[in-house]
Amino acid sequence: CPTILAARTYIPSLIIFKRKCTIPGLLNSALVSSVMEFTNTAYMKKCLFQKYIEHFIHSILPTYSVLLILDSYKSHINYAYINFYFNNNIFLYALLSHTTHILQPAKLSFAQLKKAYNKGCEQLCLDNNSELVTKYTFTKILGLAYIKIYTSMSIYNIFKTTKIWLFNLNAISLDCLNPSLTTEQFNISPIQPTPASSSSQFSSTQSLSIPTSLLQSSNLNPSSNFIINKKKTLKIEVKLFNIRVNQLEAKLKAMKDELETLKNSGICSLYLALKYPFSYTF
């Protein structure tokens, strides 16, 4: 996503290309001060995030403290450079999971940016005898989309929608943030053990009992014991699932062999000949 500021402007993008080697000339038609990096996946990594921060600092030259609002992806934060952020008056704030569609200004405007970019691609095709977009023309079209979408008034309206600036605590109902709590709820109350059955050995929702004596004798708190036991249970379930997958794969292979034999009558493996001695004619 792009970087937009509450000061009603934007920062030229850090563009990530899916390449191993640097290609010169890709930014010839890009917005002034745009930068590019290359990765195997074209996704943000921690090392690239540090370069983005350096680009961010160079673009705004923060004299006063700056709040940088990010998505909650781990690849967006490199904890090894916390002191670097602090020394440059930058404070990072990661939004809660599943709330960026409400609280992240850059994400609210991203659909409009994509629409403007797609129109630019169509216009390039019409004006240049069906010319396709390449890595060399991509940055030009993206830059024109930036200029069209991120006007001073549109950026103001985006921040006004999220109520981050001007700040309004009551603008968004707390019910809208409930999806962010799904990974934070733990049931750590002791549960009576139930006998295991063959029908439930592959169930991922099997109840997990925590003996009270274990909680009392352990130095860990109940939630830590719960997480440790849950981890052990999940490891066992993964092994059982892997065994079941191997069994199903073997069964699938046998069925494919039988199908090929039916398609080619008179030819079969020794295994099928012994399994169905009267089904085939040799």
In this structure, the answer to whether residues 34 and 159 fall within a common structural domain is yes
- Do 45 and 115 belong to one domain? yes
**Single residue among 142, 177, 212 that ends a domain in this structure:** 177
| Assigned domain for 136 exists | yes
- Quick: pLDDT tens for 148-172: 999 999 999 999 888 888 888 777 7
- Residues 72-102 have pLDDT tens digits of 766 666 777 788 888 888 888 888 878 888 8
Q: Which residues of the chain have pLDDT under 70?
A: 1, 73-77, 180-226, 260-282
Is this prediction's pTM over 0.85?
no
Same domain flag for 20 and 136: yes
145, 177, 209: which is the final residue of a domain?
Answer: 177
Write the DSSP string, the chain.
--EEETTTEEE--EEEEE-SS--TTTTTTSPTT-EEEEESSSS--HHHHHHHHHHHHHHH--SS-EEEEE-S-GGG--GGGHHHHHHTTEEEEEPPTT-HHHH-HHHHTHHHHHHHHHHHHHHHHHHTTSPPP-HHHHHHHHHHHHHHH--HHHHHHHHHHHTTTTT-TTSS-GGGGGGGGTTT----S--------GGGTT-TT------HHHHHHSSS-HHHHHHHHHHHHHHHHHHHHHHHHHHHHHHHHHHHHHHHHHHSTT---HHHHHHSTTS---
- 149 & 258 share domain: no
Say whether both 107 and 166 belong to one domain: yes
Same domain, residue pair 224 and 164: no
Domain containing residue 131? 3-177
Q: Give how many domains the chain has, as a whole number.
A: 2
Residues 66 and 154 in one domain: yes
Q: Tell me, yes or no, whether 185 lies in a domain.
A: no
Q: Are residues 52 and 131 in the same domain?
A: yes
